[in-house]
A and B are shown apart, each in its own frame.
Chain A
């Protein structure tokens, strides 16, 4: 499955909104440089929730990575992109 970075970002936004629509504005404005904890307000559980949702959405597996290994949304997109190739 070939997906562009923009498409991956869009799908990630959908996942984030489905998970928690309380910070809709922040998610809508997020970019690849957005920091997961500082900007998007992620906790360890929301990281884990997102990883589970990404695995199901993109049909990939997060191997040997912990939730603290990702700092920005761009790093998550990089990982997804690498797994999809």
Chain B
């Protein structure tokens, strides 16, 4: 696990909007969503400290909110398409301190920005499917590999998170959190491209394990 301290202060002007929304929306969100945290293992239960890449499934527009509930005690820096930073919605994404990236022509400036945040101890959240999945409930699209390079360059572990969509308005939000995966411990600081492809497949398999875990817990509850 990454040992460096989080550079972000408990109270910061940069995060004024983020913290205001988080504080004011916490109680209504808890009442509405009634989140149920499911941990893969005791190691996954430990609080995440320092720089870390959080990966989650993307099935709907509310997923960033669900991910923020999943790891509620940290500020998230979401990686978003730069298109979200245009027009009237721009203030929202800037206020939430999202990191804009050009998906068509990813540049080293974006990479340096993300890895700088990770090395500085921030938590960077990414939806590795790259878009809202059309695979339906419990389905995952293929993962993009960029997150692995970001984690390697930022020397940060990857935490898989699965947020189960609420089937009904009155259903509880079920969130599964996996153990942090330290790629460098397994593959060194410069794995080859075939190894990176293997890591991406492993991460997708881990996400599927979390889906199965949530479904198993739900079936036990229903019996």
By a beta-carbon cutoff of 8 Å, the part of chain A in contact with chain B is 18-22, 43-46, 48-49, 51-53, 55, 61-69
Tell me if A20 and B105 are in contact (CB < 8 A): no
CA of A79 to CA of B196 in the docked complex: distance in angstroms?
26
Tell me if A48 and B192 are in contact (CB < 8 A): no
A-B residue pair count with CB separations less than 8 angstroms: 53
Taking residues whose C-beta sits less than 8 angstroms from the other chain, chain B's interface range is 10 to 19
Given contacts A44-B146, A48-B106, A63-B108, 14 further A-B contacts (CB under 8 A): A19-B193, A20-B192, A43-B145, A44-B106, A45-B144, A45-B149, A48-B108, A48-B111, A48-B149, A52-B108, A52-B111, A65-B108, A66-B102, A67-B106
Min Cβ gap A23→B in Å is 10
Task: From A22, A46, A48, A68, give the contact of B104 (CB < 8 A).
Answer: A68
Whether, in the assembled complex, B107 has its beta carbon less than 8 Å from a beta carbon of chain A, the answer is yes
Min Cβ gap B215→A in Å is 31
Residues of A within 8 A of B165 (CB): none
Tell me if A49 and B149 are in contact (CB < 8 A): yes
Residues of A within 8 A of B111 (CB): 48, 52
The 8 closest A-B pairs by CB, nearest first: A66-B105, A68-B105, A66-B107, A45-B145, A20-B193, A62-B108, A19-B193, A67-B106
